[in-house]
């Protein structure tokens, strides 16, 4: 599909002529947003951009149009920011393997430039003028930023060629490869330092940087975690013991003293209970029943946002690095 004219795109979004150009100029100037600093434990902080309400609405409209019009489908190995896939489907690909290798990418979103996005659009036959304008609309000071509604979709688009390369390496070595945003996982019978070197060489050749501190081998007989879930048994992914203990303790505090008495608020705790239901239904039901029997309003039922709630929360607590 070719987006031959900017005006055509704006019409599909439901915005007036010149809207995308104005958005690009605002972001070029570094305006139209604030930066939120989120503690991820152990004295580490990550930065997330929050656009103004008006600009966020425009970006969401742009994302919806791009999803519908571009015809881009991430590869089957991609489980992050893809409808119908999640951390659970990602972890399910690596159950009870002799070796699991996790490779983490450093500064994933920030390492993607305006020109990277523009080039990725052009591969899909978007004309040069539109591609360059769209890239400016979805970057701030020339870089993709976490927190912009378009970033997950466009990151998958930019990384697509690298996914293809890594999938080819995995197939050649009889390994399973998946990616959840910046978290790359390989599993199989044999994975050595030489295997990691081959993978790393390809990643670096494509312009990405590996976070060596978060890259690790996990062998059978020891703990094996993929996107926060234990994958050491064939029956399916399950929550690590520490997470289960934490959730039970938070629910216990809530039933005795109300929401907010522990380290999580009502919305977040309910989201985590929904997350537990998705991974281990019996545990989620147990926690849900405890909240209900205490006479506390649940607030919302299971939703597709449960995985996102959990991922953000474990990151804030500094637990994600451990899993």
pLDDT in tens, 246-261: 999 999 888 888 877 6
Q: Measuring CA to CA, how many Å separate 309 from each of 210, 250, 303?
A: 26, 16, 10
| Mean pLDDT along residues 208-237 | 94
Report the SS3 class of residue 185. Answer: strand
Are the CB atoms for 274 and 302 separated by under 8 Å?
A: yes
Q: Measuring CA to CA, how many Å separate 57 from each of 23, 30, 31, 32, 200?
A: 11, 18, 16, 12, 38
| Mean pLDDT along residues 274-291 | 89
**Which pLDDT score is estimated for 297?**
54
Cα–Cα distance between 313 and 168 in angstroms, integer?
A: 34
**Which pLDDT score is estimated for 315?**
52
Q: Which helix (H) or strand (E) holds 295?
A: none
| Better-scored residue on pLDDT, 3 or 56 | 56
| Mean pLDDT along residues 7-20 | 94
**Which pLDDT score is estimated for 3?**
53
**Which pLDDT score is estimated for 42?**
56
**Which pLDDT score is estimated for 261?**
64
Cα–Cα distance between 39 and 44 in angstroms, integer?
A: 6
| Mean pLDDT along residues 82-105 | 96
Q: Are strands 33-39 and 45-51 parallel, antiparallel or unpaired?
A: antiparallel
In the predicted model, what is the mean pLDDT of the chain? 89
Q: Which residue ranges make up each domain of the chain?
A: 4-230, 241-317
Burial code (b: 16+ CB inside 10 Å, e: under 16) for 188-209 equals beebeeebbeebeeebeeeebe
Structural domain 4-230, CATH architecture: 2-Layer Sandwich (3.30)
Report the SS3 class of residue 149. Answer: coil
Q: What percent of the chain has pLDDT over 90?
A: 70
Least confident of 34-38, 77-81, 120-124, 187-191: 34-38
**Could you tell me the pLDDT band of residue 309, with boundaries at 50, 70 and 90?**
low
């Amino acid at each position: 599909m070719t987006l031959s004219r900017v005006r055509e795109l704006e019409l599909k979004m439901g915005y007036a002529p010149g809207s995308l150009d104005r958005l690009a100029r605002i972001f070029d100037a570094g305006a139209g947003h604030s930066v939120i600093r989120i503690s991820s434990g152990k004295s580490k902080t990550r930065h997330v951009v929050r656009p103004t309400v008006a600009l966020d609405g425009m970006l969401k409209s742009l994302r919806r149009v791009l999803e519908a019009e571009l015809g881009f489908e991430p590869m089957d190995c991609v489980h992050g920011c893809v409808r119908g896939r999640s951390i659970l489907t990602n972890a399910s690909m690596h159950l009870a393997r002799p070796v699991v290798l996790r490779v983490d990418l450093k500064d994933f979103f920030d390492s993607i430039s305006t020109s990277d996005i523009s080039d990725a659009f052009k591969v899909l036959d978007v004309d040069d003028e539109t591609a360059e304008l769209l890239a400016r609309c979805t970057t701030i000071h020339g870089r993709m930023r976490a927190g912009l509604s378009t970033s997950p979709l466009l990151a998958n688009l930019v990384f697509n060629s690298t996914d293809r390369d890594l999938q080819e390496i995995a197939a050649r070595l009889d390994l399973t490869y998946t990616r959840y945003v910046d978290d790359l996982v390989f599993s199989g019978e044999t994975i050595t330092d030489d295997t990691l070197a081959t993978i790393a060489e390809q990643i670096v050749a494509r312009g990405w940087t590996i976070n060596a501190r978060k890259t690790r081998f996990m062998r059978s007989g020891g703990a094996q975690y993929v996107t926060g879930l234990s994958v050491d048994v064939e029956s399916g992914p399950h929550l690590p013991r520490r997470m289960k203990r934490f959730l039970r303790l938070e629910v216990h505090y809530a039933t005795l003293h109300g929401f907010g008495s522990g380290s999580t608020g009502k919305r977040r705790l309910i989201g985590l209970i929904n997350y537990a239901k998705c991974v281990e239904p019996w545990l989620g039901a147990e926690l849900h029943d405890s909240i209900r029997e205490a006479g506390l309003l649940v607030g919302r039922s299971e939703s597709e946002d449960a995985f996102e709630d959990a991922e953000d929360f474990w990151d804030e607590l500094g637990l994600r690095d451990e899993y």
